[in-house]
Amino acid sequence: MYIVHFDVYLPGQVGSESENLGGFQPAMDVELFPRQCKIDTGSEPNLPAICRELYSRWIRPSSSDRFRSQIEFQKLLLHIELYRMQQTTGTTHAIVSAKRYIEEHYREPITAGLLAGQLGLSPKYFAELFHKMYGKSVTSYVTELRLREAKRLMLHSRFKLRDIAHRVGYADEFYFSRKFKKEIGVSPTSYMNSRRRKLVAYRPWIIGHLLALNVMPYAAPLHPKWTESYYRDYRHEIPIHLSAYRYNQDWRMNVVKLGRLAVDLIVTTDDLEEQEKRALGQIAPLLCLPRKETNWREQLQYLAAELGETWQAGKWLEAYEHKARDARKRLQPYVGGKTFVGLRMVGNRLYLHCNGGMADVLYRDLGLSPACRSEMPTYDRPIAVEEIDRLNADYMLMLIRRDNDTLAHWTKLQYDPQWQAIAAVQRKRVYELPSDPWREYSAHAMLRMLEYAEQLLTADHPSLIRI
């Protein structure tokens, strides 16, 4: 057995007692490595040899041998660090593989012990790693996947309850029913009756809330330009496409179209004009989400309660918060202490801009520091180039309206000497944000913003636009 005691010194402050140590002072509470780092010397045969060399040199009186033992000690630390990094990377990959395996085999009997055995880890260690990475246990995740699939199958009237239970991995339909009611809050039969309603997402951002609840609308505003991502990903799953032109300017056309259909519920917002609201109310019952004085989380929970999807909302928000915490930690080494400012350009005018999504994702969830403090969380006010320069923001996030006039002025502005003199411009820390999702305020949009911001600021995505 070799036991090595060593001291660590860090650079001290001028005028402190550390000047007696050549500018260094003892570090008392520094943890270089995890408190436990077990290494299999069979896979690292050099370690015992290094320890023997370190010891044999240290006990000799010559200064050169003592110096050589210091070198051997540095080699020992390097081996430990490289091994730790290798193990961390390997373990992370193993946990990701385990999650993928669960997603492909959740219909089969799965336990943490089974997965740990396949990975060569102890069940307790595997369970701790999985929970740390994903914020839930293996059992909870398996149950979540099974119930999510069961809810999807309940949309199809050809499936009986017994068939659904067997398809998602429960041999006993009665146990499945009890489990479903305990987690979801209603019986499977009640849920099936409610989910077979034909819902209308009357506003584009309502699609984002419904998707977070794993609910696919029967009709919704879809357009390849105005709702690009929803059109691209869900146009084949949503049978009826309403007009999405400039935030529902074609509402009369949509009312006529819906009047020809047999729909059960229209989900909209409480800021509709009375004329439009009355016309929709003659077609089907209205569920109006509160827009003023509520944030997207409250809107999602309100909608979930009305649709009987409180469980789904809770699971979604839990996963979002876990992802946000991880992203915040990951971003810290890149942008810790840096300041950000949001700008919007319309025509030849620039605006100091922070909408609801930017306020929540950037400054609340990711903890970024705004270069401009404001009493209101959201704002949109004109600003001159010289004012932007005085803000001295480290990063500038731009929303550019995609019309010909604005794009022409934006191109011209980038060659303006005043603009080029801004520090963030010189450091190439100006990023153009797409309006989708950064102009939408829904649960699904928040998740996409979170992922986009993390990729943008860690430079993990080469296609993102840096100006």
Residue 279 scores a pLDDT above 90: yes
pLDDT higher at 155 or 298? 298
Pick from 244, 212, 445: which is nearest to 310 by CA?
A: 212
Which residue carries 């540095």 as its tokens? Answer: 74
Q: Give CA–CA dist 455/366, Å, rounded.
A: 13
DSSP codes joined into one string, 306-340: HHT-HHHHHHHHHHHHHHHHHHHHHHHHHHTT-EE
CB-based contact 263:201 (threshold 8 Å):
no
Residue 4 scores a pLDDT above 90: no
CB-based contact 427:344 (threshold 8 Å):
no
Residue 462 scores a pLDDT above 50: no
List pLDDT tens digits, range 284-300: 999 999 988 899 999 99
Question: At 461, is the pLDDT very low, low, confident or very high (cuts 50, 70, 90)?
Answer: very low
Residue 247 scores a pLDDT above 70: no
Residue 130 scores a pLDDT above 70: yes
Q: Give CA–CA dist 331/457, Å, rounded.
A: 7
Q: Give CA–CA dist 237/279, Å, rounded.
A: 27
Specify the amino acid at residue 6: F
Specify the amino acid at residue 263: V
For residue 99, what are the contacts with CB-CB under 8 A and spacing of at least 6? Answer: 130, 134, 141
Q: Is the pTM of this model over 0.85?
A: no
CA separation, residue 452 to residues 311, 369, 401 (Å) = 27, 18, 19
pLDDT of the residue at 260: 93
Q: Give CA–CA dist 157/153, Å, rounded.
A: 9
pLDDT of the residue at 432: 94
Residue 12 scores a pLDDT above 70: no
CB-based contact 241:254 (threshold 8 Å):
no
pLDDT of the residue at 386: 95
pLDDT of the residue at 327: 93
Pick from 398, 392, 386, 358: which is nearest to 372 by CA?
A: 392
Q: How many residues does the chain have?
A: 467
Residue 465 scores a pLDDT above 50: no
The two counts, helices (H) then strands (E), for the chain are 21, 13
For the chain, give the percent of residues with pLDDT over 70.
88
Of 63-77, 83-97, 197-211, the poorest mean pLDDT is in: 83-97
CA dihedral 381, 387, 390, 391 (to 10 degrees): 10
pLDDT of the residue at 306: 93
pLDDT higher at 250 or 150? 150
Structural domains in the chain plus CATH codes: 1-30 (no CATH), 40-135 (no CATH), 145-193 (1.10.10.60), 198-308 (3.40.50.1980), 317-457 (3.40.50.1980)
Average pLDDT (175-189) is 89
pLDDT of the residue at 460: 46
CB-based contact 253:187 (threshold 8 Å):
no
Within 268-384, where are the H helices?
A: 274-281, 296-307, 310-335, 356-358
Give the DSSP H/E element, type plus range, for residue 10.
Answer: strand 9-11
Which residue carries 């989708």 as its tokens? Answer: 436
pLDDT of the residue at 14: 45
CB-based contact 309:315 (threshold 8 Å):
no
Residue 196 scores a pLDDT above 80: no
pLDDT of the residue at 416: 95
Average pLDDT (50-75) is 88
CB-based contact 213:316 (threshold 8 Å):
yes
466 DSSP assignment: B
Helix axes 296-307, 310-335, angle to 10 degrees: 160
pLDDT of the residue at 41: 64
Q: Ramachandran region of residue 293, left (φ > 0), alpha (ψ -120 to 50) or beta?
A: left
pLDDT of the residue at 33: 60
pLDDT of the residue at 193: 77
Question: What tokens appear for 275 in the block?
Answer: 């004329």
At residue 431, φ and ψ (nearest 5 deg) are -120, 135
Average pLDDT over all residues of the chain: 87
Specify the amino acid at residue 58: W
For residue 377, what are the contacts with CB-CB under 8 A and spacing of at least 6? Answer: 354, 356, 359, 363
Q: Give CA–CA dist 258/121, Å, rounded.
A: 57
CB atoms within 10 A of CB 157: 8
Question: What tokens appear for 254 in the block?
Answer: 């949509």
CB-based contact 279:307 (threshold 8 Å):
no
Q: Give CA–CA dist 398/416, Å, rounded.
A: 16
pLDDT of the residue at 305: 94
pLDDT of the residue at 6: 85
CA separation, residue 316 to residues 127, 135, 185, 291, 333 (Å) = 21, 12, 16, 21, 27
List pLDDT tens digits, range 334-381: 898 999 999 999 999 999 999 999 999 999 999 999 998 888 889 999
Question: Which residues is 35 bridged to in the sheet?
Answer: none
Q: Give CA–CA dist 31/112, Å, rounded.
A: 31
pLDDT of the residue at 248: 61
Residue 89 scores a pLDDT above 70: no
Average pLDDT (86-111) is 83
Average pLDDT (41-60) is 80
